[in-house]
Structure formats: C-alpha cells, structure tokens
Amino acid sequence: MINYVILSMTLLAIGIYGLLTKHHLLKVLISIELIATAASMNFVLLASSLNKAMGEAFLILAFSTDTCVTGIVLALLITVSKKYGTSDIRKLAELEWQAAVENEKGKSETDGDDG
C-alpha cells in the first residue's frame, strides 16, 4: 500500500531541494508550489483515510491563499525581469550590490563638494 505520508515528505524534500539549489525565480516559485502541494496532500489524504471531510474544507481554504500568493509572486517576477532584464537571483543580488555601492559613492562625492 502506498503510504501517503512518505509520498508527501518526498515531495516536500524535492521542493526544499529546489528552493535551496535553484537560482531562477520561476524554479523557486515551482519549488514553493511543490511544498504547498505536499502539505495540502498530507492533510487531505490523512483526513480522507479517517472519513473526515475537514481535510477537503481545509484544502479549499488553502487553495485560495496559495493562488493569491502565486499570483502576487508571479507579478513580482514579471516586474523584476522586465526591470532588470534577468530572473537569476545571483545577478539580481549583484545588481543590488552595485546600486548600493554607486549610491555610497554619490553620497561621498556630495559630502566632498560641500566640505
């Protein structure tokens, strides 16, 4: 018999692996989706095996939240990739670092002119 707890834990492990190792924003979003699916599956199948409908009610509540989160994250992904031209987390971090350094340089130059 397939044990659903182990199945959901395997899906959770795959999601965490993707979250930790992948650098593309879309992959990170897919990893979050897998983690959410694993958690929902655990609730639904355990409740179903106990003949309780609470798991299904929970799933519907979780779906609405999950869809909202996914929509917002996808909107942020599109905005970021249109603004910076990349979806790689490492490149985005480098861009942020460069912007901070340039801001610091600009501040020091302004202070020097004033002095």
List of residues contacting another protein (CB under 8 A): 1-7, 10-11, 13-15, 17-18, 22, 24-27, 29-31, 33-34, 37, 41, 44-61, 63-65, 67-68, 70-72, 74-75, 77-78, 81-82, 85-88
Please, which residue, 46 or 95, has the CB nearer to another protein?
Answer: 46
Check residue 85 and report its DSSP letter: S
Please, which residue, 61 or 100, has the CB nearer to another protein?
Answer: 61
| Rounded CA separation 73/26 (Å) | 9
- The CB-of-95 to another protein minimum distance in angstroms stands at 14
Please, which residue, 64 or 113, has the CB nearer to another protein?
Answer: 64
- The CB-of-69 to another protein minimum distance in angstroms stands at 10
Please, which residue, 57 or 111, has the CB nearer to another protein?
Answer: 57
Which helix (H) or strand (E) covers residue 67, if one does? helix 54-84
- The CB-of-94 to another protein minimum distance in angstroms stands at 15
Check residue 87 and report its DSSP letter: -
Question: Which among 44, 35, 36, 40 has a CA at the least distance from the CA of 16?
Answer: 35
Distances from the Cα of 79 to the Cα of 18, 37, 68, 76, 86, angstroms = 22, 26, 17, 5, 10
| Rounded CA separation 68/100 (Å) | 32
- The CB-of-21 to another protein minimum distance in angstroms stands at 8
